[in-house]
Every structure is written in structure tokens, then in C-alpha cells.
Amino acid sequence: MFGRILNSLDKAMSWFEEWTLYLAVMVGLLSLFINVILRYFFHYALAWSEELIREIIILTTFIGLSTAVKNGSMITIDAAVQLIPRLRKTFAYCSHIAVLIFAILIAKLGYEMALMQARTFQKTIILEIPLVILYCILPLMGVMMFIRTIQVLYKSYMEEKSAKREE
């Protein structure tokens, strides 16, 4: 039952991550391409293009964190694992617990920051995008990282369980 729920969440989150990242990168590339053409051929630059790229970098970085957790491509320091290989599982679980704590903190603090932005009605300078939209990425990313880490932990637990059965 729990595995089916995690599987459904994985499919929905993967769809969201892939399409969000795809569309954001495509919009960014198109914006940059148009800006480069205008700058070099017509000596005119779009001010909003650079601000849009900055916001896209923020979005793709935070949404990409969830994908990085899923794919196991988070930055790790494995010197201790190389020195003491039998503690690999222990270090992996400690790492996952640290990611869970980080995800909870980012979700909580990001939510508080988004509420603060909602109260102040601040907007970006050129595009006038409400900053609350940008700050809402933080709690969303925290929740997604938390779910992805639970999925990774469950998957490794099930793999361990099946490996013990085969022995």
C-alpha cells in the first residue's frame, strides 16, 4: 500500500519536475536567444530578459534539487566511506536524515518567508512578478525533497529486504 502511494507520487512528481524544468529552460533559451540577436544586430537589449533568466535559474535550481535526490546525484563526501567501507549504509542513512531535516527547515522557513512577501506585496523590478510566487518555490521544494528522500529510503529498505531473502 505504502509502496503504491510512493509510486503514484513518483509519477506525478516526475511529470511536474520534467515539464517545469523543460518549459523553464526553453523559455530561458528563447529569451536569451532573442536578446542576443537584438543586442548584436540591432544594438538594442531587452532589460526584462536578464531578470527572467535570473528567476528561471532560481526555479530550476530549486526544482532540480528534488530530481537530484531522486537520482542520487546530491553532492557527497565519501572519504569516510572509503576508509571504513562497512559503514556505508550507516553514512547513507545519516545523509538521508540530514536531507530530511534540511527539507523540513526549508519548507517551514520558506513558508514563513512567502507569507512575509504576501503581506508586503513586493514585486520584481522590471517584470513586476509578485515575489510571493518566487518564495513559494521554497516550501514546494522542501516538500518535494522530503517526499523524494522518503522514496529513496523506502526503495533502499525494500532492496535490502529482498537481498536478505535471497541469502
Q: Alpha-carbon distance 82 to 64, whole Å? A: 28
Cell of 53: 533568466
The pTM of the full predicted model, rounded to 2 decimals, is: 0.86
C-alpha cell at 146: 522530503
CB neighbour class for 12 (10 Å; exposed up to 12, middle 13-18, buried from 19): exposed
Residue 53 pLDDT: 94
Per-residue confidence band for 167, with pLDDT thresholds at 50, 70 and 90: low
**pLDDT 10s digits, 97-106:** 999 999 999 9
Sole residue written with cell 549504509: 89
Q: How many CB atoms lie within 10 A of CB 95?
A: 15
Direct distance between the N- and C-terminal alpha carbons of the chain, in angstroms, rounded to an integer: 26
